A = this chain, B = another copy of it.
Amino acid sequence: MLRLTKKADYGLMALKYLAEQSPAPVPASAKDIADAYHIPPQLLAKILQTLAKAGLLVSHAGTNGGYALARSAAEISAFEVIRAIDGPLFITSCITIHGTCDLAGHCTIKEPLRKVNDSIKDLLSAIRIADLAEAPDTEHYAASVGGGLISIAV
């Protein structure tokens, strides 16, 4: 449960790939990335398209075309990627886009879970693509985030 889709996984992997390539003299094609990670090429192609449409990637059609990061890898959060691919983050069915609960009235579960929701969002927002790339071992990664601890309001 609570698992993000394979598409989001692929998207993050693709962004990581692009982050490691930058600054890229030539953009990477969907096929390049798909080959590198053994991802179904056509599927990745669609993912990259939505990522481009979301403004996280810049695309270039035609020969020698491909994709490149729209911003620096340090300025793109995992949350943005996941949101762009999988849609808005709602941990519970109660929290809809309108903020209303279809079980309105008889659902007091909503408020506490909304906080969990926000916390997860903060958690994912703190992870940046730059953290994914070149993050081989645990200690170095934790240190790079800021002391290994982040505080989350509950």
Name the residue on B nearest A137 (C-beta).
B111
Mask: chain A, 99-118; 1 = CB below 8 Å from B; 0 = not? 00001001111011101100
Q: How far is the CA of A151 from the CA of B152 in the complex (A)?
A: 6
Q: Which of B4, B87, B116 touches A123 (beta carbons < 8 Å)?
A: B116
Q: How distant is A9 from chain B, measured CB to nearest CB, in Å?
A: 6
Number of copies: 2
Q: Are A123 and B152 in contact (CB under 8 A)?
A: yes
Residues of B near A3 (CB, < 8 A) are: 2, 89-93
Q: Are A9 and B112 in contact (CB under 8 A)?
A: no
Q: Which of A21-29, A56-64, A127-135 contacts B (4 or more CB under 8 A)?
A: A127-135
Q: Which of B36, B90, B131 touches A112 (beta carbons < 8 Å)?
A: B131
Residues of B near A123 (CB, < 8 A) are: 116, 119-120, 123, 152, 154
Q: Which of B36, B83, B88 touches A106 (beta carbons < 8 Å)?
A: B36
Residues of B near A124 (CB, < 8 A) are: 116
Name the residue on B nearest A88 (C-beta).
B1
Q: How far is the CA of A112 from the CA of B58 in the complex (A)?
A: 25
Q: Are A120 and B153 in contact (CB under 8 A)?
A: no
8 tightest Cβ-Cβ pairs between the two chains A and B? A1-B86, A3-B90, A37-B106, A145-B154, A12-B109, A6-B93, A150-B154, A13-B109
